[in-house]
Amino acid sequence: MLALAPLQNVFVKCSGANMFSRGAARTPQQVGRQYNTLLNLFGAERCFFGGNFPVGKIKLGYGALIATGKAAVAHRRPAEQRAFFHDTAARFYCL
């Protein structure tokens, strides 16, 4: 990821944080380490949240998944959170 971060055409979809965990779903703190590392490398203008549903419901319901994602980045500025959960994906997918 360090090698890709300087490339301005590379975006990161942050999804599937619980897909390969054993046992219980990962905590917001564990997911936060992953998401915040990517946000620090690529910035909120090139990272966006993805739910990975319906496959993701193996570990978490949709509401719990969203709550975990929001808690993971709750300390970020509101503009970064809006970019992560909406603006960047809308721009990337031309919505």
Q: Is the pLDDT of residue 83 over 90?
A: yes
| 8 within a domain of the structure (yes/no) | no
Residue with tokens 């993701």: 56
21 phi/psi in degrees, rounded to 5: -85, 145
pTM, to two decimals: 0.90
| 64 within a domain of the structure (yes/no) | yes
Triad 47, 33, 48: Cα angle to 5°? 15
| 30 within a domain of the structure (yes/no) | yes
| 76 within a domain of the structure (yes/no) | yes
Q: Is the pLDDT of residue 10 over 90?
A: yes
Sign of CA dihedral 16, 20, 23, 27: negative
The residues with which 13 forms a beta bridge, in sequence order, are: 48
| 69 within a domain of the structure (yes/no) | yes
Tell me the per-residue pLDDT of 53-72, one tens digit each, with 9 for 90 and over. 888 777 788 999 999 999 99
| Residue 85 structural domain | 23-92
Give the lowest-confidence range in 25-39, 51-65, 77-91: 51-65
Q: Is the pLDDT of residue 78 over 90?
A: yes
| 61 within a domain of the structure (yes/no) | yes
| 1 within a domain of the structure (yes/no) | no
* The total number of structural domains that make up the chain: 1
